[in-house]
Amino acid sequence: MNHSSLHSNIWKYYLLQIAVALTFFFTEIVTLYYLHFGLTYTQISLVVASSLIASLLFEIPSGAFADLYGRKKSLMISAVFLAVSIALFSFSSSFFVFIFASFLYGIGISFSSGAGDALFYDTLKKLRKEKDFLKYRSVQEALYLCVALFSAFLSPYLFSLNVRLPYYISAVS
């Protein structure tokens, strides 16, 4: 891989992190969303727990997959699981579909966990800039937090216009 291609991985990584932050666009209104569809607090807790259980179950196998088959493949699988889960969240109003979507979401998170940072570090290592990893990682984190802050203010407003709108925005990203 040539240096210009490796350098392009840096801005691609930043774009990926912005896209990931946009998938969390709904987090500020998630409880309101579930309440809108008549879920009880217990059901909401079960929906949230299903993503955590999936993350717990798939964290090690997904990491092994990334090591064996490649970090890019792991990130692509993550993107598919996240897209399907957010689409299910966006168009459903059923507790059981929310549970299933949440479980898929947890799998998606586990496949991206660490794979993006590792791929980014490998890029910097090939460019002989691994000592600057924390500097680049700080830029990524600042971008992520700016998008999260933006969504924290905008998401409730969009929810007031249409309860599904924050999920639609997340699904598009």
pLDDT in tens, 13-68: 788 777 777 766 777 788 999 999 999 999 999 999 999 999 999 999 998 999 89
Tell which phi-psi region holds residue 39, choosing left (phi > 0), alpha (psi between -120 and 50) or beta: beta
Q: Looking at 4-18, 34-48, 110-124, 125-139, which range is the least confident one?
A: 4-18
Share above pLDDT 90 across residues of the chain, in percent, rounded to a whole number: 42
Q: Looking at 5-14, 62-71, 83-92, 95-104, which range is the least confident one?
A: 5-14
Determine the pLDDT at residue 144: 83
Distances, alpha carbon 52 to alpha carbons 7, 22, 63, 75, 149, in Å: 35, 20, 16, 19, 23
Q: Is the pLDDT of residue 1 over 60?
A: no
For the chain, what is the mean pLDDT?
87
Contact 43, 34 (CB under 8 A): yes
Q: Is the pLDDT of residue 7 over 70?
A: yes
Q: 49 vs 170, which has greater pLDDT?
A: 49
Determine the pLDDT at residue 52: 95
Determine the pLDDT at residue 107: 96
Determine the pLDDT at residue 123: 84
Determine the pLDDT at residue 125: 87
